[in-house]
Amino acid sequence: MNNLNDLFDLITPREPTMKLNRRNLILATSALLCFGGGALAKESFPNKPIKIIAPFAPGSSDMIARRLGDYAGKTLGQPIVVETRPGGQGTVASRVIAKSKGDGYTLLLGTNSTHAASVHLFKELGYDPIKDFTPIIRFTVNPLMLVVRTDMPVRSVPEFIQYARERPGKLNYGTGNSGSLVAAQMLKTQAGIEAVGVNYPGNAQAVNDFVAGRLDFMVTDPMIVKSFVQADKLRILGLTSKQRLSTFADVVPLAESGLPQFEYASWIGLFGPAGMPAEVTRKLHDAFAKALAEQDNVKFLADIGMIAAGTSPQEFGDYVQDQIKFWGRLTKDAGLTPQ
């Protein structure tokens, strides 16, 4: 059978006395699949809604997924829905995706927590961040901020360090992901202060206790604290990255405020399960890259203290491998051991 005419002959015999027997029917069905089925399957992605699982409680990360997903969904012609599934510093959601079918319909909003830090923070991670996932695109670079309540009598990093040193072990802080955890540990180590950490499912929950007066300081995402800073309930003291943010131009890096070696930034990206077809990965990447390139999205990210990234799947995969090594050094320097 060399062409569609042969297939037509098989299904509609020219001799009126010829019967379409079982063998011919099977051959015809197989031929239809060969000629059209495979190509149709490739061309049909996506033919149903796509789900992105965000690994932390509602906050900045899932909001970014929803916004970019709305834009990418228009390009792909299917809605993209976002589901939050917090727990275990992002490992709960990551384990789900690691075991999901690699068809492109169930994706993970991964971060430095899920794909770099957790490797060094958990004895039993439950997944391999390289082997069990298909990297699609890195969305952002995210500096954090050192923030205190406005009733704390400090207005600069040196004043904060002195205040904390005078009260060893009496201050506490909240952490909702591995980024804030490591950044806070780095702060304690490099500033030579003692403080008590309190773990939360996400930074948004920690900030609620922070504003209520149950925490003394945090190292957290700019967007989460922005409204409270504007309401004069919280005060920003410094930025964890050495690169300043255009929308927080007055915030000085910690590296310029008495902690010259301090440098930290987290990141957010999109992953699928391992084994996703290259064509599916490409379609997803191109749709989200287009969304990231929209100037209103670039501004949206800048307004919440993030920098739009955008990488090819290969570049993102290489970046994750480098980040695993980098986070190994960070967690060691911060004195953290696997739990």
User: Which two structure tokens, joined as six digits, stand for 152?
Assistant: 């704390």
Neighbours of 332 (CB within 10 A): 11
Domains 50-140+267-333 and 145-256 share a fold: yes
Could you give the C-alpha distances from 138 to 8, 10, 31, 85, 266, in angstroms and in order?
A: 48, 51, 41, 20, 11
- Quickly list DSSP for 277-329: -HHHHHHHHHHHHHHHHSHHHHHHHHHTT-EE----HHHHHHHHHHHHHHHHH
Query: Of the CATH numbers 3.40.190.150, 3.30.70.141, 3.90.1150.10, 3.30.310.50, which one belongs to the domain with range 50-140+267-333?
Result: 3.40.190.150
239 vs 251: CA distance, rounded Å: 6
Q: Both ends of the chain: CA-CA distance in Å?
A: 62
Report the candidate in 42, 40, 114, 38 with the shortest Cα–Cα distance to residue 279.
42
3-state secondary structure 191-231: HCCCEEEEECCCHHHHHHHHHCCCCCEEEECHHHHHHHHHC
Query: Is pTM beyond 0.75 here?
Result: no
| Sign of CA pseudo-dihedral 9, 11, 12, 13 | positive
Report pLDDT for 58: 82
Domain boundaries along the sequence of the chain: 4-36, 50-140+267-333, 145-256
Q: What is the pLDDT of residues 11-43, one digit of tens each?
A: 344 444 444 455 554 444 444 444 444 444 456
User: Which two structure tokens, joined as six digits, stand for 44?
Assistant: 């049909």
Q: What is the pLDDT of residues 120-177, one digit of tens each?
A: 989 999 999 999 999 999 999 889 999 999 999 999 999 999 999 999 999 999 998 8
User: Which two structure tokens, joined as six digits, stand for 93?
Assistant: 């959601």
Neighbours of 144 (CB within 10 A): 28
Report pLDDT for 29: 46
Q: How many CA atoms lie less than 13 Å away from 292 in the CB half-sphere?
A: 22
| Sign of CA pseudo-dihedral 278, 45, 61, 199 | negative
Q: Which residues of the chain have pLDDT under 70?
A: 1-43
Report pLDDT for 24: 52
Strand-pair category, 133-142 with 266-273: antiparallel
Question: CATH homologous superfamily of domain 145-256?
Answer: Periplasmic binding protein-like II (3.40.190.10)
Contact 71, 297 (CB under 8 A): yes
User: Which two structure tokens, joined as six digits, stand for 286?
Assistant: 């191109």
Phi then psi for 250, rounded to 5 degrees? -85, -10
Report pLDDT for 336: 78
Q: How many CA atoms lie less than 13 Å away from 5 in the CB half-sphere?
A: 1
Residues sharing a CB contact under 8 Å with residue 252, sequence separation 6 or more, in sequence order: 157, 238, 239, 244
